[in-house]
Chain A
Amino acid sequence: MMGRKKLSAVKAEVAALLGRLPGQSPRAWLDKEIESAKGDGGRDAETLEMLCAALERAARKPKAPRRPTKR
């Protein structure tokens, strides 16, 4: 089950978790990991980039209401 926690709360938790990464800034730590992952077929840079996005989004204002996608 997906649970009832809102995305905004999840995002805040992830940003707080990433804030505890070692080094001077979480972004620098993630960037280093992404660079390392890009040269290693056994790793997944995309996942790390998604976590970077959490850091960036946490600092942004909320977006406008979402429109349903029709595919």
Chain B
Amino acid sequence: MERHDQPKSILASEHRARLRRANRIGRRLGFAGRVEYRHVYSRSGGAQYGVGPSADEDILVLYAEAFERDADPADFSLEALIAHECGHQRLIRNQDLRAVLAKFPGEQLEEVLASLVGSLLLSETESAQTLVWKATAELGELGMTAASTVRFIERLRQLLRRFL
């Protein structure tokens, strides 16, 4: 898909439709807090989770490239992007998951865990498996053998499943 330096202008109705869709997916995946849509490029992938003083004050922000990525069959779906951010929220707000997160410190492992939690939140298999692939690719970058990476991903996902 063609990418631009800045997002193309959209009508106010399209802006509202994007917000509605993001909000609907976020709620379905259990996001607590405010969902926003900003028609700008984030330069960070298209979605972001912001931690507030409480879960209800957390923010999930979707950006223009999230919808461009969703329209591209070679890229992640909007559901997958939102589920990943919902995964971050669960890791922060669910006490059991926070304990798991504490055992796997570091930004890279948090991203792996967020993707795996996100994959478990999704009932839609296609997007769920793309998040499992993402987690596997990121874990594979840590230098483990292929067999160890696969077994670790499998056991991590099984562990996380217990707390959702």
What is A's interface to B at a CB cutoff of 8 Å?
1-8, 10-11, 13-14, 17-22, 29-30, 33, 37, 42-44, 46-48, 50-51, 53-54, 62-66, 68-69, 71
Contacts and interface: CB of A to CB of B under 8 A. Distances in A.
A10 B130 contact: yes
Nearest to B130: A7
List 7 A-B pairs, minimum CB-CB distance, nearest first. A2-B45, A44-B158, A50-B129, A20-B146, A8-B74, A13-B137, A17-B140
Interface in B131-164: 132-134, 136-137, 140, 145-147, 149-151, 153-155, 157-158, 161
Contacts, number: 118
Interface of B: 21, 24, 28, 43-48, 69-81, 84-85, 111, 119, 124-125, 128-130, 132-134, 136-137, 140, 145-147, 149-151, 153-155, 157-158, 161
Chain B contact surface mostly: helix
A62 B74 CA distance: 7
B137 A1 contact: no
B127 to A, nearest CB: 9
A14 B158 CA distance: 19
B155 A43 contact: yes
